[in-house]
Amino acid sequence: ETGVTQSPTHLIKTRGQQVTLRCSSQSGHNTVSWYQQALGQGPQFIFQYYREEENGRGNFPPRFSGLQFPNYSSELNVNALELDDSALYLCASSLGPTSNEQFFGPGTRLTVL
Amino acid sequence: DQQVKQNSPSLSVQEGRISILNCDYTNSMFDYFLWYKKYPAEGPTFLISISSIKDKNEDGRFTVFLNKSAKHLSLHIVPSQPGDSAVYFCAASEEYGNKLVFGAGTILRVKS
């Protein structure tokens, strides 16, 4: 059974650019949640996707958007990058939107210069 | 506004002794609480959870206690092992399985 994978591992962008991060969910999982973890802080919920629809969103501006595909993989897109967007971006998949346990990937480290 | 707080950035414990990690929350609507463990270069892994209708849940060496009146939960690890050394995150949610709110984490070091 393949776990949650994320790509790329590391990424460097400049302010104002756009970025796309990718996540492959664990086999059989139809729900994906994205989190932002700034240095020294805990993960902060961005949004959740269930069966290709957004199913809950945290306190993030509209320039953070996402997609979920029919195979339940997901993308996180961030437009107009700001310096404060520098963080570890974590993707987590689960069996359903009310599942007890979320399985996290290793994350993508984004640096905005 | 930090709704979930882990006030101890780090904790050091001798192997074989008890580790107690604490977490406080402010949102009375939180209905579900979880602990995650994170090793360097890996994503957090689920450890144990508890719903608000319970005050204790055990899983092997790990026990979580919930005190709703004090808005406080704790994770007990007995006995502590060197492999338990990691960052521990407390998390809470209003909706089962969704919109997890995490604390900042506590670094646990178990010395052999």
Calpha distance B15→B37 (Å, rounded): 18
Nearest to B43 by CA among A31, A1, A59, A24: A24
Question: Where are the extended beta strands (E) located within chain A?
Answer: 5-7, 10-13, 19-24, 31-37, 44-50, 53-57, 64-68, 74-78, 87-94, 103-104, 108-112
Q: How far is A59 from chain B (nearest CA, A)?
A: 10
Q: Which residues of A touch B102 (CB under 8 A)?
A: 35, 42-44
Q: Is the pLDDT of residue B48 over 70?
A: yes
Q: Tell me which residues of chain B have a C-beta less than 8 Å from any C-beta of chain A.
A: 4, 6, 36, 41-46, 49, 89, 91, 95-105
Q: Is the pLDDT of residue A1 over 70?
A: no
Please give the angle made by the CA atoms of A18, A21 and A24, to the nearest 5 degrees.
160
Calpha distance B81→B74 (Å, rounded): 18
* Residue of B42, B46, B105 lying closest to A101 (CB–CB): B46
Lowest mean pLDDT among A37-41, A76-80, B10-14, B60-64: A37-41
- What's the pLDDT band for A30 if we cut at 50, 70, 90? very high
Q: Which residues of B touch A96 (CB under 8 A)?
A: 97
